[in-house]
């Protein structure tokens, strides 16, 4: 392979890498905002049922954990996705869904009755990739 072919192959690889990595920087929040209808601050509406919506979000951005209590609570339940820096709640709304996006502590508090039995409270930095509070506090005698 001569230098012209190597340069062309390298350029093509660089373009492909840029296109591939371009979607990696897209956050859950911006993707949800582009895909679903915004109805309020960090609140969106979808025409599909909660499990369908939550599945689409989870396929795009794999959650650390999820709680689905629709079978138990019906229209009072939902599907709750936990990410290191976000909680996405997908709850029934008519024949469709409401989608909320919260910071870890806000989402944990909002949906505590649904997730409190399974998720630990987030630390000040949310959760790590294993779902453990990312900061437990500090100071002497704090149990480190």
Per residue in 84-124, pLDDT (tens digit) is: 999 999 999 999 999 999 999 999 999 999 999 999 999 88
Could you give phi then psi for residue 10, rounded to 5 degrees?
-65, -40
pLDDT category at 45 given cuts 50, 70, 90 is: very high
Per residue in 54-72, pLDDT (tens digit) is: 999 999 999 999 999 999 9
Q: What residue segments make up the domains of the chain, in order of their start?
A: 26-135
CA angle 104, 107, 110 (to 5 degrees): 145
Q: pTM value?
A: 0.75
């Amino acid at each position: 392979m001569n230098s012209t072919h190597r340069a062309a192959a390298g350029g093509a690889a660089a373009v492909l890498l840029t296109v591939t990595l371009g979607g990696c920087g897209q956050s859950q929040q911006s993707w949800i905002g582009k895909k679903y209808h915004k109805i309020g601050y960090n609140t969106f509406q979808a025409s599909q049922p909660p499990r369908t919506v939550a599945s689409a979000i989870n396929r795009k951005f794999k959650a650390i954990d999820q709680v689905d209590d629709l079978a138990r609570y019906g229209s009072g339940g939902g599907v709750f996705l936990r990410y290191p820096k976000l909680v996405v709640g997908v709850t029934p709304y008519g024949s469709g869904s409401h989608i909320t996006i919260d910071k870890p502590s806000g989402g944990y508090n909002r949906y505590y009755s649904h997730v409190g039995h399974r998720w630990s409270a987030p630390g000040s930095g949310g959760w790590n990739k294993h779902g453990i509070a990312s900061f437990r506090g500090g100071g002497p005698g704090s149990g480190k």
